Amino acid sequence: MNLSIPGIAVCLALLVLGYSLRNTIIIALFASLPFGSTAIGQLPGLGGSSPLIYAFLGALFLASLMVKREFVRDLSCVFYSSWVPWIVCALIVYAAASSLLLPRLFAGQTSVIVPTINGMREVPLAPLSGNTTQAAYFALSALMFFGFSIVLRSRFNFATVRRGYFTWVVIHALLGVIDLGAKVIGMGDVLLPIRTASYSLLTEVEEAGFWRVTGGFAEASSFGGVTLSCLAFTFAYWRVTNSRPALGLAILLSFLLIASTSSTAYAGGAVLALALMMGIICAALSGRTVSQDIVLLGLGMIVLVIIGGLYLYDSRLFDPVLDLIRTTLLEKASSESARERGYWNYRSLQAFIDTAGLGIGLGSSRVSNWAIAVLSQLGAIGAALVGCLLFVILRGVGNARTAQVDQELVALAAGARGAILGSLVAGSMVGTSADPGLLFFIGLAIIMEGRRQLAETADRERIHSLYSPAS
């Protein structure tokens, strides 16, 4: 492995940050997520693959748990608690086995899209180095469920994980502001020294006269997708707690989402906004409207009035914005790139059919939709396992109004679920892998352990009410 000095330096800096925030590895792991183009080094034996720094810190986090004396006991408690850990374990085994077996079993029986030196090419299905690397990334992400389930068996650690999420959001927003500010004042890509991953960089690109914001990532679409996930987290957290810092971050992220000039961010934001409006309407019809919804509607009306007033004053003020919308959404849908990505998805679905629904294995093809990637790479069996986990996430932890500590737990679970949904919405537009990501499995652990903690609280209150003098 060829180590990267900038990547190592960033890792050390994040570990120091984690130490200052009272949990070295967990905070550093979350803080590494915004550095989407910073690798710890390169692996020449795997086609020059460059593991990002979060992979190193994630492995370090798991290792720190495994060396503890009570690790086996805690892990057995996780498996004993519900059926979900068994599904995650089955998914890891199936994904790893299928990535090795399926490309060989169906070799030459279907065609796939793979990246080559000369660009994307359609070739017969065959084993690739991507089968190994993608399976390893998937396993690392899924193992986070067990790691965080162990950590969160102690209620005290929910506060640590909450700090981790906000550290992720703040650093992501900070990198976006630095990137945009440097481009506006003519300094170019000031974050280039830490972009050590072997990715094609599209960091100094304009769209309709606006600089594209990439933050710590290699291109604007990735930054926009993660911004959408961060925004969903902060907004969901604010709706439960009415936290002003969370609201401030949500406003800043909304600005960065618009400034990203990413069609993925715009379309994903529209989908989440529509889902939010439907949720508010349903809550109003059932008499469960909260003050945050009223504040949100008020802010929306103020923004619309300001925009309408400016348009009436001088309609030409919005010409640059309209040009941006036209180029990023209207023209992008009919562009050569969109047609090419559409063909990738078509070939992936065809490969699913050609393999009788078993799939072609992780990393066997390039696709442009997370849901199609799950279906084509993991097959019907893998898709069913992922669907079970997604159902658990959508259910959430419910609601709790017994104590402030429970409200914080519910808020963290709601924010984690929001981050997952934002990530999956973005992935359903540009996702290239069946791996739902590290935050998917961390959020799943938060929801499962949060549900257990709330059930224990309810049991204690029930026992207290039975034996209290007032009864």
The amino acid occupying position 198 is: S
215/430 Cα distance (integer angstroms): 18
Contact 88, 145 (CB under 8 A): yes
Q: What is the DSSP letter of 142?
A: H
Reply yes or no on whether the pLDDT at 245 is more than 70.
yes
What is the chain's alpha carbon radius of gyration, rounded to the nearest angstrom? 23
Query: Does residue 440 surpass a pLDDT of 80?
Result: yes
Q: Nearest 5 degrees, angle CA 39-CA 148-CA 83? A: 125
Residue 321 has pLDDT above 50, yes or no: yes
Contact (Cβ atoms closer than 8 angstroms) between residue 433 and residue 373: yes
The amino acid that residue 267 corresponds to is A
Give residue 417's pLDDT.
95
Name residue 370's beta-bridge partners: none
8 Å CB contact between 104 and 127: yes
Res. 233 pLDDT band, cuts 50 70 90: very high
What is the tens place of the pLDDT at every residue in 365-393? 888 889 999 999 999 999 999 999 999 99
pLDDT at 205: 76
Name the 3-class secondary structure at 289: coil
Direct distance between the N- and C-terminal alpha carbons of the chain, in angstroms, rounded to an integer: 68
For 286, the token pair is 């059932």
Q: Are 343 and 324 in contact (CB under 8 A)?
A: no
Contacts of 304 (CB under 8 A, 6+ apart): none
What integer pLDDT is reported at residue 471 of this predicted model?
46
**Which of these, 416, 469, 358, 381, lies nearest to 90 by C-alpha position?**
381
Compute the distance between CA of residue 348 and CA of residue 111 in angstroms, rounded to an integer.
9
Does residue 342 surpass a pLDDT of 50? Answer: yes
Q: How confident is the model at residue 432 (pLDDT cuts 50, 70, 90)?
A: confident
- What span, in angstroms and rounded, lies between the C-alpha atoms of 393 and 395? 5
Q: Amino acid identity of 302? A: I
Token pair of 408 as six digits:
């914080």
Tens of pLDDT, residue by residue over 352-369, are: 999 999 999 998 888 888
Q: Are 111 and 125 in contact (CB under 8 A)?
A: yes
Please give the Cα distance from 201 to 197 (Å, whole number): 9
Helix (H) or strand (E) holding 121: strand 119-124
Q: Which amino acid is at 206?
A: E
Is the sign of the CA dihedral 232, 234, 238, 244 positive or negative? negative
Please tell me the predicted confidence (pLDDT) of residue 175: 95
Of residues 18 and 204, more confidently modeled = 18
Q: Which two tokens stand for residue 465?
A: 């009410």
Q: Measured between alpha carbons, how far is residue 358 from residues 101, 112, 170 in Å?
A: 11, 15, 41
Give yes or no for residue 107 having a pLDDT over 70. yes
Mean pLDDT (the chain) is: 85
Closest listed residue to residue 256, CA positions, set 31, 34, 54, 439: 34
Answer yes or no: is pLDDT of 464 > 80: no
Which pLDDT score is estimated for 400?
Answer: 47
| 3-class DSSP state of 198 | coil
What is the structure's pLDDT at 30?
Answer: 96
| Model confidence pLDDT, tens digit, residues 402-411 | 445 578 899 9
Residue by residue, DSSP assigns 54-111 as HHHHHHHHHHHHHTSTTHHHHHHHHHHH-SHHHHHHHHHHHHHHHHHHHHHHTTTSSE
The residue that leads in pLDDT, 83 or 47, is 83
Rounded CA-CA distance 282/293 in Å is 12
Which range scores top for mean pLDDT: 195-204, 275-284, 432-441? 432-441
Q: Say yes or no to pLDDT of 1 above 70.
A: no
pLDDT in tens, 18-74: 999 888 899 999 999 999 889 888 776 665 577 899 999 999 999 999 999 999 999
